[in-house]
Structure 1
Amino acid sequence: MASSVLASQSVLLDTGAQMPLLGLGMYKLAAEEVHCAVDAALAAGYRAFDSAAVYQNEAKLGRALMELLPKYGLTRENVFITSKLGPRDQGEKAMEGALCSLSQLGMDYIDLYLIHWPGTQGLDVADQHNSGNRAQSWAALEDLFIQGKLKAIGVSNFMPAHMRELMLSCKIRPAVLQVEFHPHLCQAELRSMCKEWGVCFQAYTSLGKGELLTDPLVVEVAKSCSRTPAQVLLRWAVQQGIPVLPKSSKPERIKENAGIFDFTLCEDHMEQLSALERGRRFCWDPSQVV
């Protein structure tokens, strides 16, 4: 599929912005890998990039885009950049943390900025101060949204209780909830809540840290579609309107992951994949954070 067509595949946020259904996840991308990965992604048609303060590659991402966008006839306005507030900056340091992300990226605005984690670095998960710190962080993000420095704001790794708390107290609703999502963890309750409140539900760890690539059913579906297991897992999500953020440093894998918009999984395959649900997490469990 032509990169221009891939780039047009997006979801409408409640801010009125279009967020691409496919983005490059920057998690664990080493500094020396960023430039090559961004180059391959832009060539393949990616127009969204997902970083975070804790990834320690915001500056590298910003520099890579500055150097590479002209190569593809693109400008800053043609890409959608997401970053996230580090848990160490949760609370009274939130404004400083968000402005630091802006500075690291070398940009005048960030398209989407998320509270990365419901807890605070250094606090026990049962510490009641976590709730107050989240509220303080959200107020800072609301201020930066009003100033136009953050074009959309949201949260990551929030569970149902965290979302209910935020929706009761916020002045500006979160545009996005980004959580772990794949056939082994379908997050039905969170998806229902997001649908009710007009919040975009976004997936990370769509490939189960690689473990789902060898799941017998995923392999079987991939063979029947003449696709790779990764493409099947990503297609399963985007076919439900759920944006995905596969991470890779390998140009050939980045290109392969982009090939998910020129085929459709049949209804039986979609149902079979969804039936793999077992509540299994490959990443951290945020549900214990009060």
Structure 2
Amino acid sequence: MTNPKKFTCLNTETQMPLIGLGTYKINHEDDVYNALDTALGVGYRLIDTAAVYQNENLIGNALKTLLPKYGLKREDLFIISKLGPKDHGSELAYKACLESLEKLQCDYLDLYLIHWPGKQKLKSEDPRHKQYRKESWFEFEKLFSEGLVKNIGVSNYSLKQLDEMLSYCKKLPAVLQVEYHPHLVQEDLLKWCTDHNVHLQAYRSLGISELLTDPLVTKMAKMYGKKESHVLLKWALQQNISVIPKSTNKDHLEENFNVWDFELTEDDILELKKLNRNARYCWDPSPVV
């Protein structure tokens, strides 16, 4: 039995759980409630949402009932939300955070992310994206200084956009959330995060069915007596990359959380990295200037 490290320490000295519940596309009231009910019962303490998921109000309502059920308080949870692309810019970004707080029925967010490096309705090559990103980040720094958010970060940023941030930010992001799995091994982003003490959080950790059924993944799962999903989640976790797998299936929610009783070898991790094909199964931010 290993002695697992279930948290990571962010550059604000905040402890963040390494496994959380993703809620993308979970926007039916019963599905949200049941997923949170199972997750909190299993032991999940991190919930990832976003304005564009259109479920913040459902999560807020569910937690009002579920926190007392499990003897939990708000401070026992780590709640992440994200700025919608339509709300980029001065004042808008600040107001959008207040709206997320109201829907979630929270006094603060543990982490607030810029969801996308571009402003909605602008073409990818529009130079105004840079100014909107900058304005939004200044609003984020204000939210942080006022204690409305405990940590600030970005999502779906490219290396170019991260380097650009260095020219104006007074406070570095605590977290970069991007798509990351053995079919998309973004080593340059991981190195940037390591070099700047920024934590990398992965979404879409299980890729698609083609990754879950890859012969190498299947072979390792059999070798360790685990599920293929365990192998893929553990691959990220052992690189200190946190994960937010999404599910409404009770068994999958339990399985995804119980990955602490085995470890891959360094050779296993390297072998899985060789599956890289630079395949994105979600969004590509690189065209955004």
Query: What TM-score, normalized to structure 1?
Result: 0.96
Distance 2:9 2:24 in 1: 24
Cα offset for 1:31?
Answer: 2.4
Deviation of 1:210 (Å): 3.8
Deviation at 1:130, TM superposition (A): 0.3
From 51, 54, 60, give the equivalent of 2:52.
54
Distance in 2 (CA, whole Å) between partners of 1:48 and 1:85 is 18
Counterpart check, 1:85 vs 2:68 = no
Which AA in structure 2 matches 1:14? Answer: N
How far apart in 1 are the matches of 2:80 and 2:28?
17
- Deviation of 1:211 after TM superposition, in Å, equals 3.5
- Quote the Cα distance in structure 1 between the aligned partners of 2:60 and 2:185: 33
Residue pair 2:48, 2:80 contacting (<8 A) in 1 also: yes
CA distance in 2 between partners of 1:97 and 1:154 (Å) = 15
1:124 alignment counterpart: 123
Aligned length: 286
Checking the alignment, whether the CA contact within 8 Å between 2:27 and 2:58 is kept in structure 1 is: no
Distance (Å, rounded) in 2 between the aligned partners of 1:19 and 1:228: 25
**Larger CA deviation: 62-71 vs 120-129:** 62-71
State the shift of 1:184 in Å: 0.9
Match among 6, 11, 27 for residue 14 of structure 1: 11
Cα root mean square deviation, aligned: 1.3
Instruction: Give the helix-richer structure, 1 or 2.
Output: 1
| CA distance in 1: counterparts of 2:9 and 2:138, whole angstroms | 24
Unaligned runs of 5+ residues in structure 2 are none
What does residue range 119-198 of structure 1 map to in structure 2 within 5 Å? Answer: 119-198=118-197
How far 1:284 moved relative to its partner?
A: 1.0
Q: Which moved more, 1:209-218 or 1:48-57?
A: 209-218
**Residue deviations 1:95-150, cap 9 Å, x none?**
11111111111100000000000011000010000000000100111101000001
CA-to-aligned-CA distance 1:61-82 (integer Å, 9 cap, x gap): 1121121112212110001000
Q: Which residue pairs with 1:63 in the alignment?
A: 61
- Deviations along 1:254-276, one digit per CA (max 9) or x if unpaired, are 00101111110122221211111
AA aligned opposite 1:277: N
| 2-structure distance, mates of 1:57, 1:131 | 29
1:159-238 pair list within 5 angstroms = 159-238=158-237
Which residue is equivalent to 1:247?
246
Aligned to 2:94: 95
The Cα offsets for residues 197-220 of structure 1, whole Å up to 9 and x where unpaired, read as 110011000011443211111111
Q: Distance in 1 between matches of 2:205 and 2:21?
A: 12
What CA distance in whole angstroms lies between the structure 1 residues aligned with 2:27 and 2:128? 33
Task: State how far apart, in whole Å, the 1-side matches of 2:79 and 2:18 are.
Answer: 13
- AA matched with 2:53: Y
**Kept after mapping to 1: 8 A contact 2:216/2:272:** yes
Range moving further from structure 2, 221-230 or 204-213? 204-213
CA–CA distance in 2 between the matches of 1:108 and 1:20?
20
SS in 1 for 2:242: coil
1:282 offset after TM fit, Å?
A: 0.7
Q: Does 1:27 align with 2:24?
A: yes
Q: TM-score, normalised by structure 2?
A: 0.96
Q: Distance in 2 between matches of 1:209 and 1:139?
A: 36
